[in-house]
Amino acid sequence: MPRNPVRYWDEEIETLDRRSLERLQTERIQATLQRASRSDLYRGLFAGRRIRPDRIRSPADLRSLPFTTKDDLRRAYPRGMLAVDQRRVVRMHASSGTTGQSTVIYHTARDIRHWTELVARSLVMSGATEADVFQNMMSYGLFTGGLGLHYGAERMGMMVIPAGGGNTSRQIQLMRDFATTIIHITPSYALHVADVIADQGLTPDDFKLRRLVFGAEPYSEATRSKLERCFRVTAYNCYGLSEMNGPGVAFECRQSEGMHVWEDNFVVEIIDPATGEPLPPGRKGEVVFTTLNREATPLIRYRTRDLAQIIEEPDCPCGRRMRRLSRILGRTDDMLIIRGVNVFPSQIEHVLMKIPEVGSNFQILLDRVESLDRMTVRVEICGKMFRGGVSELRALKGAIQHSLREEILVSSDVELLEPGTLPPSTGKAKRVIDNRAI
């Protein structure tokens, strides 16, 4: 098959050589520091330090500055992070609040323009063109997955269907009636949509779908493969967080080997979450970002709590020079400590989604019995794949328990459920129910 030529949205910047990029980053860090010190947040964080923007001579010099944490942003709620006159603000967004009080980010018109450009650039990188029909199945509102992708998709000229999250039968109807070619969706919701499509007796041939764009939650390679098989299309990973605008911070190119971080807009660092020390390329740690182009809420060395690594090879065959981030391997704040062992829900997902008899939904239940942690993994089985009797169910349960133990090193109970027993996810999945009293 002839390969499609590489297309760029902004070729000059996307292929900029590293030296020029670092020069640009340095200038922008200096400007960002100037701006940031106008907010109460940074007046507080910089108090007692002499911050001299002109002393920043390279992006590495950022290391002399303090981190900004989610708690700092929570303390600054609702306006302490604002660095411009409120009259210049045209929009605000807030994080989903997955891990507590949500954080607020303000945008000027220029901020929104830049964010829109980054999303357009990301979508073109994945091969989207103005001939595509883009159905956005992320919820619209304070959450950034809706409006963020919407503006970028429109900007690059696609027809956008602002479907929002949920209402699955209607989503499927829209996909068929308007010949949707790209959907933007959380992987957990995509698993549910795939089930409903199958229940309706439809197959990929009933759709014109060409690509999936996945974002907003961690998921494993096994889930991606499973969904690519169900929909018979390629999936692209889209990463972002509301503190860094939202989606469009990093996105996969057609090589599907990591996500290019838009380093003209963000400096990315990987640190050891325990010590705060920078880690070399290739080592897994916490992702830290500094905004480079934002006016209303500049953020410096923001600790995302997301765990990932920088992929070492500098050049990607797609021609882009911006470094790549691995998939997000988990969040430091969704790490579970079970009988002293660190376990990420994504590890459990990885094990389950590789087993063909496992359906699309699962839940992790934690209890404490006689001061011992007990984990129960509740797993929906796949109706189509599994037609066995009691002994086969018992064997499946044993096989799941065994694979889980191999991966996470703690034993668990496994409960097999009929398809459709657990509440389906229509946005960010909530997989863990922790009933352990502290």
Q: Decide: is 216 part of the binding site for ligand ADP (CB under 6 A).
A: yes
Asked if 237 and 252 touch (Cβ cutoff 8 Å), the reply is yes
- The β-bridge relationship of strands 159-161 and 133-136 is parallel
With contacts defined by CB under 6 A, name the span among 52-60, 209-217, 288-296, 385-393 that binds ligand ADP. 209-217
Q: How far apart are CA 247 and CA 265, in angstroms?
A: 13
According to CB under 6 A, which one of 15, 30, 98, 234 is a site residue for ligand ADP? 98
- What residues have CB less than 8 Å from 139, skipping those under 6 apart? 145, 146, 164, 165, 166, 427
Give the residue with the Cβ less far from ligand ADP, 311 or 417: 311
Q: Decide: is 72 part of the binding site for ligand ADP (CB under 6 A).
A: no
- The β-bridge relationship of strands 336-338 and 310-311 is unpaired
Tell me if residue 61 falls in helix, strand or coil: helix
According to CB under 5 A, which one of 81, 158, 191, 316 is a site residue for Zn ion? 316
Q: Decide: is 238 part of the binding site for ligand ADP (CB under 6 A).
A: yes
Give the residue with the Cβ less far from Zn ion, 225 or 255: 255
Pattern of binders to ligand ADP over 317-336, x per CB under 6 A? -----------x--x-----
Give the residue with the Cβ less far from ligand ADP, 26 or 114: 114
35 binds, among Zn ion, ligand ADP, none (CB under 5 to 8 A by kind): none
Q: Decide: is 348 part of the binding site for Zn ion (CB under 5 A).
A: no
Q: How far apart are CA 287 and CA 271, in angstroms?
A: 7
Give the residue with the Cβ less far from ligand ADP, 270 or 381: 270
Q: Which long-range contacts (CB under 8 A, 24 or more apart) does 42-47 make?
A: 42/83, 42/298, 42/300, 44/76, 44/80, 45/72
Report the helix count and the strand count for the chain, using DSSP H and E: 11, 21
Q: Decide: is 215 part of the binding site for ligand ADP (CB under 6 A).
A: yes
Nearest-CA neighbor of 13 among 121, 156, 112? 121
CB of 43 to ligand ADP, least distance (A): 25
Pattern of binders to ligand ADP over 5-44, x per CB under 6 A? ----------------------------------------
Pattern of binders to ligand ADP over 400-429, x per CB under 6 A? ------------------------------
CB of 357 to ligand ADP, least distance (A): 26
Q: Decide: is 96 part of the binding site for ligand ADP (CB under 6 A).
A: yes
Segment holding 91, helix H or strand E: strand 89-94
Q: How far apart are CA 213 and CA 251, in angstroms?
A: 9
Residue 78, preceding bond cis, omega within 30 degrees? yes
Which of positions 136-175 make contact with ligand ADP (CB under 6 A)? 143
Which of positions 248-277 make contact with Zn ion (CB under 5 A)? 253, 255
Structure-block tokens of residue 56: 């920043």
CB of 428 to ligand ADP, least distance (A): 6
| Residue 325 Cα distances to 35, 77, 371, angstroms | 28, 30, 40
User: Strands, E, within 281-386: which ranges?
Assistant: 285-291, 302-308, 310-311, 324-325, 330-331, 336-338, 341-343, 358-369, 372-381
CB of 254 to Zn ion, least distance (A): 7
- The β-bridge relationship of strands 104-108 and 89-94 is antiparallel
Q: How far apart are CA 317 and CA 315, in angstroms?
A: 7
Phi-psi region of 388 (alpha: psi -120 to 50; beta: other; left: phi over 0): beta
353 binds, among Zn ion, ligand ADP, none (CB under 5 to 8 A by kind): none
316 binds, among Zn ion, ligand ADP, none (CB under 5 to 8 A by kind): Zn ion
Give the residue with the Cβ less far from Zn ion, 150 or 324: 324
330 binds, among ligand ADP, Zn ion, none (CB under 5 to 8 A by kind): none
CB of 311 to Zn ion, least distance (A): 10
Q: Decide: is 233 part of the binding site for Zn ion (CB under 5 A).
A: no
Q: Decide: is 349 part of the binding site for ligand ADP (CB under 6 A).
A: no
Binding site for Zn ion (CB under 5 A): 253, 255, 316, 318, 320
By CB under 6 A, name the binding residues for ligand ADP: 95-99, 102, 143, 215-218, 237-242, 304, 306, 328, 331
